[in-house]
Chain A
Amino acid sequence: MATAVDAPAAPTPPRRNRSRLTLRNTFIGWTFILPNFIGFAVLTLVPVIALFYIAFTSWNAFGQANWIGLENFSRLLTDGTFHTALFNTGYYAALHIPLTLAASLGLALLLNHKMRGIAFFRTVAFFPYITSIVAIAVVWNMLFSPDSGPINQFLMALGLDNPPGWTTSSTWAMPAVVLTSVWREMGYYMLLFLAGLQAIPRELYEAARVDGANAVQRFWNVTVPSLRPTTFFVTVILTIQSFKVLDLILVMTDGGPGTSTLVLAQYIYRKGFEENDFGYASAVAVVLFFICLGLTVVQFLLNKRKEV
């Protein structure tokens, strides 16, 4: 009995102790995030801030960067190749985002059933994502080869007389790159959709069934609304990824034929590291940054409006 009475008094520490404890906890918390934050600050934050400064200068990597104000940005207005790269990036995103969304959602729905070997199929679908991008580019380039490639052989067997030239044609190079990147990335987004699908309560489907909803109705009225947070997340990440695309294009077409697959990220690379015009390259990077930022903000606003 006595202990029970005493007990509440015991854990009340003096005030100074509590603040020391808070301090200690905060300190421990900081030590956990500090290594990551230092890395972020040194490798990301500082370079990004520097980028905004360099964009207003003329700098060739050596010596002083000369402040030239808005000159780089006014040069962008009349730079035809920049406009081509901007258009190509938009074109890539416009094809890549909806196709990847549809393909990864489709895969997730398909692999959300209980069946034999499901783990195997999920692994197979995820496999392209962890494969080296250079290997992917080499293999898909061969598949797309206009005369001897299996894709055109197949199309010709189907009776198509004049199959597209894919990566060797200015018209078809971008669709070819998009197809490859959809194939590569759908497994990753499938995984996110699978997690979303499994979080949907079974009862919703049961209730819908009791109300007489068929499969299509259940998909549109239960699955799609319940997946909205996942879809939103996937769309935001996909949009940013699409506008930043570089590696696949660099190894698959190197921007060609001509400038038909030249995207903004490659244009930045060219201007900066090939032509040593770091000021101008930074200006293009700033534009790309604001495009990504703007689109993300718009998506957040749209998502918020839907939520209300």
Chain B
Amino acid sequence: MKRTMLTGAAALAATALTLTACSGGDDTGSGGEGDASNVDSISLAGWSLSTTPEFQVLADAYNEQNPDVTVELKEYDATEYDTQMVADLAAGSAPDMYVLKNLKNFVTYEDGGQLLDVSDVVSEIDGDLAGIDAYTVDGTTYAVPYRQDAWYLYYNKDLFDEAGVDYPDGSWTWDDYAENAEELSDALGGDALGTYQHSWQSTLQGFANAQDPEADVLSGNWEYLVPWYERVLELQENDAQMSFGAITTNSVTYQSQFGTQQAAMMPMGSWYVATLLAQQESGDAEEFDWGFAPAPQMDASTTETPVTFADPTGIGVNPAVDADTAAAAKDFLAFVASEDAATALAEIGITPAVTNEAVTETFFSIEGIPTDETSQFTFSTHEVLPENPVSADTATLQNILNDAHSEILSGGSSPEDAIADAMDRAQSEVLG
């Protein structure tokens, strides 16, 4: 009895959906005319749901406030997320809303007309929402960020104490950082290295692009990267940092390096706070005292509001949905930008796009989290720039820069030569 009713309802709903889809035509995107109360379920894409709880947290928190609407999650593969999403959108089988995993591919969706205009949601948000500018093209906003990571400098207090080196206090420049890394390595005498910079191009180019006043990825003039590479090469040569070759050939993970006290410092994104807490809990990481400080700066002029980088993570709406679903999805997005959503995310160690005192308080009430002043300052005070500029050329230029990255750090060419080669490639293949 119940089942037949359900089937009947589903069939009716399906017919209704088809009808509205047909009558809706092209104007579904204009928004405002749909009625969210006609919708009892909206779908959202996510990846690796068992290890990435943030999507379920958002869905549950929304459902608590809106008991009539369920947010259904559709799982995707974490590494192939964008490939699968492009295919699903092109095939018309994508969910109502999807997460923009990184800014590099935002332009593909935006340029391809795969994101609904959500400017009206944004205009109603009061307060500051980090990362919104990155999703705004020519005055139109295409996604609402729920999460804004930032790169910090993690440090192992036990190893600092052992080496007799002062903790980073937020005043460090990159030269201070390098100097301290070498001092730590010497003092720890082989037990641990001074620092660990993972093999990703972000660990170096991300900071350079955010902090260097000469930085402009899209210009194809990348000479400014040379001194940044020279500094890291020197750290490798002086055994203050594991060599790039050793990292890649041994498939070294950054979690193991910092988590098992192989390195006293590590520049890494804010997501690692939750990971490290979970790993210390499960025993995958050792028990030790740690904290996080602002990322080292180019010079002392920015230490009051440290400049760091990380892409926002936002949610956009599939333009293929009907007007009612679009209205429901926008309602969900408005919730995503609220303090309630931010608090729910902060509870599980995610750095939300909304930061205020209440959110900071929630974040630092997580069990085991370092609560010292520097860590609190790091979380609440910084200027985060996106890792990648939004442009159709970004992906190609990033690939060229990544080739230069591995070439330089493996010792194949000097920074000058490899960067000059990369600039030639950019000119002849992309910009010229």
Contact = CB atoms under 8 A, between A and B. Distances in A.
Whether chains A and B associate is yes
A257 B412 contact: yes
A258 B249 contact: no
B282 interface: no
A79 B83 CA distance: 25
A106 interface: no
B407 A276 contact: no
Contact of B403 (A78, A142, A259): A259
Contact of A80 (B89, B406, B425): B425
B249 A81 contact: no
A196 interface: no
B246 interface: yes
Nearest to B418: A258
Contacts of A169: 410-412
A141, A146, A168, most chain B CB atoms within 10 A: A168
Nearest to B432: A78
A289 interface: no
Contact of A60 (B112, B412, B425): B112
Contacts of B108: 60-62, 276
B32 interface: no
A168 B83 contact: no
Interface in B106-121: 108, 111-114
B404 interface: yes
A274 B399 contact: yes
State the majority secondary structure of interface residues on A: loop
Contact of B406 (A138, A256, A275): A256
A167 B249 contact: yes
Contact of B111 (A60, A254, A257, A270): A60
Interface in A168-185: 168-170
B86 A141 contact: no
Given A165-B245, A168-B244, A81 B429 contact: yes
A247 interface: no
Nearest to B108: A276
A258 B400 CA distance: 9
A273 interface: yes
B395 interface: yes
Interface string A235-274: 0000000000000000000111111101000000010011
12 contacts: A61-B108, A63-B113, A79-B428, A141-B249, A142-B251, A147-B245, A165-B411, A167-B249, A170-B407, A258-B412, A258-B418, A260-B407
Given A60-B111, A60-B112, A168-B249, 19 more contacts: A61-B112, A62-B90, A62-B114, A63-B113, A79-B428, A80-B425, A141-B251, A145-B246, A146-B249, A166-B249, A168-B411, A254-B406, A256-B403, A257-B406, A257-B410, A260-B407, A275-B399, A276-B86, A276-B395
Interface of A: 60-63, 78-81, 138, 141-142, 144-149, 165-170, 254-260, 262, 270, 273-277
